[in-house]
Amino acid sequence: MAVLLDVVSWLLLSLGGAFVFIGGVGALRMPDLYTRMHAASLTDTMGAGLIIAGIMLQAGASLASIKLAMILLFLLLTSPTATNALASAALLAGMRPGEAIPWRQESRE
Partner 1 sequence: MIALFGVFLLTLLVITALAIVRSENLFVAVMLAGIFSLLMAAMFFILDAPDVALTEAAVGAGISTVLFLAALALTAERERAGSANRLLALGVVAVTALIVIFATFDKPRFGDPAAPVHQHIAPWYVERTPEAIDIPNVVTAVLGSFRGYDTLGEVFVVFTAGIGVLFLLGTRPRRNSRPVSVALDESDTGLRHYLIPRVVGRLLVPFIVLFGLYVQFHGEYGPGGGFQAGAIIAAGMILYALLEGEEQALRVLPRWALTGLVAGGALLYGVVGVAGMLLGGSFLDYSVLATDPIKGQQIGILLIEAGVGITVTGVLLSVFHAFAARERF
Q: Which is nearer to partner 1, 2 or 107 (CB)?
A: 107
Give the binding range for partner 1 (CB under 8 A) out of 1-9, 35-43, 48-56, 71-79: 71-79
Q: Is 64 in the site for partner 1 (CB under 8 A)?
A: no
Cβ neighbours of residue 70 closer than 8 Å, sequence gap 6 or more:
none
Q: 36-42: long-range contacts at Cβ-Cβ below 8 A with a sequence spacing of 24 or more?
A: 36/103, 37/83, 37/86, 37/87, 40/83, 41/79, 41/80, 41/83
- Whichever of 60 and 107 has its CB closer to partner 1, that residue is 107
**Of 1, 60, 104, 107, which one interacts with partner 1 (CB under 8 A)?**
107
Contacts of 85 (CB under 8 A, 6+ apart): none
78 binds partner 1 (CB under 8 A): yes
With contact defined as beta carbons under 8 Å apart, do 46 and 27 qualify? no
CB of 74 to partner 1, least distance (A): 8
Is 85 one of the binding residues for partner 1 (CB under 8 A)? yes
Q: Which residues bind partner 1 (CB under 8 A)?
A: 74, 77-78, 81, 84-85, 88, 107
